[in-house]
Structure 1
Amino acid sequence: MDNLKILAIVTGTSMYANGNLKTGLWLSELTHIYHNAKEQGYEFIIASPKGGNTPIDPESLKPIVLDKLSKDYWNDSKFREMMQHTKSLDEISESMFDCVYLAGGHGTMYDFPNNITLQEIVKVHFENNKVVAAICHGVGGLLNVRLSNGEFLIKHKKITGFTWCEESIAKRKKEVPFNLEAALKERGANYQKALIPMTSKVVSDGSLITGENPFSSKEMAKVVIQQLNIK
């Protein structure tokens, strides 16, 4: 199994459009999958739309949400160094991976949905029966992916992602460029969410795996690794 390869795509956007609030990657949505993949001996590549430094959402570093595993990685200078030197999507667009994983954070709402290279990477991997996984706002990266038949990838698929209620709890309704929950439903997705906001929810539909929010990070990593081990 040590030859399996995971591509994690992270945001390169550090600010909301208003320029007043910082955003970026939600740290735990990368650390858990990274940790699990490394334990399995998988190759793990991190890329972002333009490559280079990965901004981290300061909200994800607050003690109330920063779990021990994520804190340990944040305090690891080698991990921090790695996050400053992501590959660009253009660099890896011709490569094939066993899993493409779209990490979340509000920054993804700006540089994921309309990125043509990202859409092509997801489409090719999905149509080759590879695992496609996305968590929280990273699910927005699936919104505009069309398959070879012209249909949206997420049409009629069981899927989850950050809810509008959770956006309210996070006090970001006025900051975000769009309502992710509504956008997923408009694409014809079979949208599902946890009974209680801000609790873990992971949804699988074949090789498509989605997680609702940061609190799904641990379960998400577990489900993705299980799916990869089955394949």
Structure 2
Amino acid sequence: MTKRILNVVTNVGHYDDPAHPTGLWLSELSHAWRVFEQHGFDQTLVSPAGGRSPLEPRSLKFPNYDRTAKAWRADPARMALLETTAGPEGINAADYDAIFFTGGHAVMYDFPDSAGLQRITREIYERGGVVASVCHGYCGLLNTRLSDGSHLVAGRKVTGFARQEEVLARVNKLVPYNAEDEMKKRGALYTKAKLPFVSYTVVDGNLVTGQNPGSARATAKKVAALL
């Protein structure tokens, strides 16, 4: 049976201040997509509201704009996928072996409180499927609870974009909350690399998380290995 991956992307295009655009960090999707594609997995894009997923402008500039991201933007069929993402209500969690939350600061707004994404994540996780995130994608796990009412991340080892990295990226005053602190408040055992912006991934059972954009490929490879 071919393994199926549900890749989650944002619908949000700006911070609280509309003068500051944000969106999907393209390389986090393109790197993971490439890894999953090489393994022959089927892939679907889903977003909290369905429809268009805008791109983070900063992800389209050097050094973030690499070969896989450029190839994605040059492919009309791939770009069309970002205009027509599925909504959670149209997704049957039983059809997927893993869910992979991509990042970009935009996800801080629409990932945490999506009841539909929480349902899908819980169902995949509780039947032994893989739940994964990279960078800010871990915001999609903040409020996800298991059937017993506990937070999925409670007592689990996770990583994600660090507060130090927010400061270095000069967006710490733009973001709506401190994601690292919020994850810790939910009982997660948060860890990070000793140096910012280096690839760092954590595997705890069927939960796989990567710290930053540079971790997308490694995170996807660990998901593939579990599958």
Please state which band the TM-score falls in when normalised by the shorter chain: over 0.9
Shift of 1:147: 0.9
Work out the CA distance in 1 between the residues paired with 2:171 and 2:94: 36
Alignment of 1:39-118 (within 5 A): 39-93=38-92, 95-118=94-117
- The aligned length equals 227
Which amino acid is the alignment partner of residue 192 of structure 1? Answer: T
Question: What is residue 220 of structure 1 aligned with on the other side?
Answer: 219
Which amino acid is the alignment partner of residue 45 of structure 2? Answer: I
Work out the CA distance in 2 between the residues paired with 1:28 and 1:156: 30
TM-score, normalisation: structure 1: 0.95
Which amino acid is the alignment partner of residue 209 of structure 2? Answer: T
User: Given the alignment of the two structures, is residue 152 of structure 1 paired with residue 164 of structure 2, yes or no?
Assistant: no
Q: Can you list the C-alpha shifts for 1:25-61, whole angstroms capped at 9, x where unaligned? A: 1001111111121222211000111111110100001
Shift of 1:96: 2.8
Shift of 1:95: 4.4
Question: What is residue 188 of structure 1 aligned with on the other side?
Answer: 187
Q: Secondary structure at the match of 2:202?
A: strand
Work out the CA distance in 1 between the residues paired with 2:149 and 2:76: 44
Q: Secondary structure at the match of 1:87?
A: coil
Alignment of 1:194-209 (within 5 A): 194-209=193-208
RMSD of equivalent CA atoms: 1.1
Task: Give the gaps of 5 or more residues in structure 2.
Answer: none
Shift of 1:93: 4.4
User: Given the alignment of the two structures, is residue 170 of structure 1 paired with residue 173 of structure 2, yes or no?
Assistant: no
Work out the CA distance in 2 between the residues paired with 1:93 and 1:112: 18
Shift of 1:76: 1.4
What is the percent sequence identity of the aligned residues? 41
Q: Give 4+ residue runs of structure 1 displaced > 6 Å after superposition.
A: none
Q: Secondary structure at the match of 1:209?
A: strand
Task: Give the gaps of 5 or more residues in structure 1.
Answer: none
Contact 2:94 2:123 in 1 (8 A): no
Contact 2:7 2:45 in 1 (8 A): yes
